[in-house]
Amino acid sequence: MTATLIPATLAFREDGTPYSPRFDDVYHSTFGAFEQAEYVFLRGNNLPERWHNRRIFTVLETGFGMGVNFLATWAAWRNASARCERLHFVSVEKHPFSRDDLRAALDAVVAHTPHASATAGASGTSIARLAHELVDAWPMLVPGTHRLEFEGGRVTLTLAFGDAIEMLPKMWLRADAIYLDGFAPAKNPELWSPAIFKALARVAGEEATFSTWSSAGDVKRALVQNGFEYRKTAGFGAKWTMLAGRFAPRWRVRRYEPPLPLTLAERHAVVIGAGLAGSALVERLAARGWRVTLVERHAAPAREASGNPAGVFHPLVSRDDSSASRITRAGFLYALRRWTALDAVAQTSAHGAIEAPARTHAGLLHLATDDESQAVAAALASFGYPEEFVRGVNRAEAESIAGVALAQGGWFYPRGGAIDPASLCRAQIAAARALPDALVDVRYGVQVERIERAGDTWQVFDESSALVAQAGVVIFANAHDAARAAALNFAPTRSVRGQLTLLDESPLASLRVPVIGDGYAVPLPGGVTLAGATYEVDDTDIALREAGHVENLERVAQMLPGLQGAAADAAAGAHPRAWQGRVALRCVTSDRLPMLGQLGDEAAARRDAQRLSGAWPLDLPRAPGLYGAFAFGSRGLVWAALGAELIASQLEGEPWPIERELAEQVDPARFLQRALRQRSL
């Protein structure tokens, strides 16, 4: 169960140094925060020289604090004449600052740093400006992993909010440089415990270096015990010595090697499907310089479930903070950041060439049912989520937000809402194609029938057995058709029919925000209300049914009494006009979680089934270059962007955007793993 996130308390000593009352220690040396970062961590890891001409370079830090080390590293990257193409900075923080406190702390540090307002290299950007960008992008204080992107995605900050002892073993990356930072070992011994160094040894690259201002005996012993070599050098400020060194184990210290990029002759991927999953993949891969061939059987993107007039997006709150809740929370927050970035691209595109996704910004109400009201109330009280994430509301408060009468209260997601999925898909594809040196080929009206391995690449064929494309990577984002096209036996997906109802001249024309519960109601332009949706398993009939419209109205009327008259008329067959609506088929798995990541090699697993009977996900044989992003059910809006980022990170050998244990929950090979453990192969 996820622990409650307790923010840091900001205080200052008389000399203006930021100070932690909880740990009775300062956040940086009194001789200067940025001076310490440059001396101890940048020079201690021989940066920026070590990232010269590298495509990807990853820094791992044990305590984020105020972000001074990140800002100093970012500024050094900007100033480097031969910098890496993409800089990843991964850091853990148990007690993050609120946005306002972070701003105050950094303003104080910058004011006391003579060179902080000077320009950082040819870019002309000061550390003070970088600090403002960090504060503006600062995430909500909720537990889990948060991915922030700067410099058009070329500088990525992955923040893990939680206890380092719990979070570091869950992170999956290959660290090139390690910053051992945090409050003094005597003040915060857990951050310098053997478990921390063991976790670092799991993710250190072969040539990884480390540095720290501490030279405590326990630190030196823990380093040696986990395969690190250290040397003492002159310390910074009042410190006589500091430690620097490298990862050079003389024995095996880990079971699995940390991730590496996929070995390919060309970074070229074929993405099959142009719905929410495929469109997000195109954007995320193109942003990294990949050549992408998008293949879609319809004449345009978002013609199936992604073509609904609107879809709702919101996190998921549960009393035990389940895996589904954690994955949905991470996806929701990451999607908001990606959509904001798309808005910015649309604003700067020439002649409106890129359309901003059409979405609401007034929040979303989730009305409680009798079964869940107490559980969710307990979860809100237990986890102490910030009000910008979610807050409980009684009926009067909920009605004030909604603008219509409601049957009960519930909880309010200020950043939730509704979006036009098709406009999102179009924006992502357009943004990818508008990138400098973009290599995006879109092929509509092509039905993929099968794939074949040819040397080190995959060949994709259509229904007439004509070759459509050939690449080292193929990603199936075609929902119901993915398991067939990928020849997967262990992908238990099912179709769920969902019928929507559109009410013009709606009795709920004054509804201000989407309302969800046992059903949902979404206000659309022109006084139209979208009501939905039916949930009919293994029913693939796409014809509209009057019974489905009646069901939608009756369920929504239980939440919004203003619709009771229309629901009664519908049930009596007295609806005055022809029904309007839409039917789409959702693709779901038996555990209701998506399929995201590299596909398992089922043939190889069968051949080696006995040895693999106790396999963990990283033990499983994988189909080279084959990935999946499908079975999103009704949560495609909050899972698609995060899923695309996860797959892109796996392909590139970058730090994963969520904890490894969560990635394993959505691993497409999880059902193969279960079959192996049950010895059913």
What are the residue ranges spanned by the domains of the chain? 11-247, 268-305+422-489+593-677, 364-414+494-588
pLDDT at 118: 52
- Judged against a pLDDT cut of 80, whether residue 29 lies above it is answered with no
| Cα–Cα distance for residue pair 1/159, rounded to 1 Å | 19
- Summarize the confidence of residues 341-367 as an average pLDDT: 92
Q: Which residue has the tokens 């993915």?
A: 482
Cα→Cα distances 523→415, 526, 665, Å: 16, 9, 34
**pLDDT at residue number 112:** 79
Q: Is the pLDDT of residue 114 over 80?
A: no
Task: Report residue 115's pLDDT band, with 50, 70 and 90 as the boundaries.
Answer: low
At 124, the pLDDT band (50, 70, 90 cuts) reads very low
419: its two tokens: 């979006």
What's the whole-model pTM score? 0.96
459-502 tens-digit pLDDT: 999 999 999 999 999 999 999 899 999 999 999 999 999 999 99
For residue range 323-341, list pLDDT tens digits in order: 999 999 999 999 999 999 9
CATH of domain 268-305+422-489+593-677: 3.50.50.60
**What is the average per-residue pLDDT within 79-87?**
93
What is the average per-residue pLDDT within 221-234?
A: 96
Work out the average pLDDT over 14-26: 84
| pLDDT confidence band for 119 (50 / 70 / 90) | very low
CATH of region 11-247: 3.40.50.150
- In sequence order, the β-bridge partners of residue 469 are 460
Residue 68: is its pLDDT beyond 50?
yes
Q: Kindly write down the DSSP assignment for every residue of 26-86, as one continuous string.
A: ESS-TT-HHHHIIIIIIGGGTTTGGGTT-SEEEEEES--TTSHHHHHHHHHHHH-TT--SE
**Residue 121: what pLDDT?**
41
State the pairing for strand pair 391-393/410-413: antiparallel
Q: Which of 121-130, 275-284, 318-327 has the least mean pLDDT? A: 121-130
Average pLDDT over residues 505-515: 94
Task: Mean pLDDT check: name the lowest of 109-113, 270-274, 518-522.
Answer: 109-113
Residue 146: pLDDT band by 50, 70, 90 thresholds? very high
> Please, what is the average pLDDT of the chain?
93
**Angle at CA of residue 537, ends 536 and 538, nearest 5°:** 120
- What is the average per-residue pLDDT within 557-576? 86
Whole-angstrom CA distances from 422 to 275, 298, 356 are: 8, 13, 11
Residue 577 has pLDDT above 80, yes or no: no
Compute the Cα dihedral for 506, 511, 513, 519 and give only its sign: negative
CATH topology of domain 364-414+494-588: D-Amino Acid Oxidase; Chain A, domain 2 (3.30.9)
What residues contact residue 464 under an 8 Å CB cut-off, 6+ apart? none
pLDDT score, position 658: 98
Q: Is the pLDDT of residue 116 over 70?
A: no
Continuous segment of H or E residues that includes residue 179: strand 175-180
**pLDDT over 60 (residue 550):** yes
Give the residue from 673, 678, 676, 656 showing the smallest Cα distance to 171.
656
What are the tokens at 95?
């007690």
pLDDT band per the 50, 70, 90 thresholds, residue 575: low
- The per-residue pLDDT for 117 is 54
Identify the band that residue 120 occupies on the pLDDT scale cut at 50, 70 and 90: very low
pLDDT tens readout for residues 480-492: 899 999 999 999 9
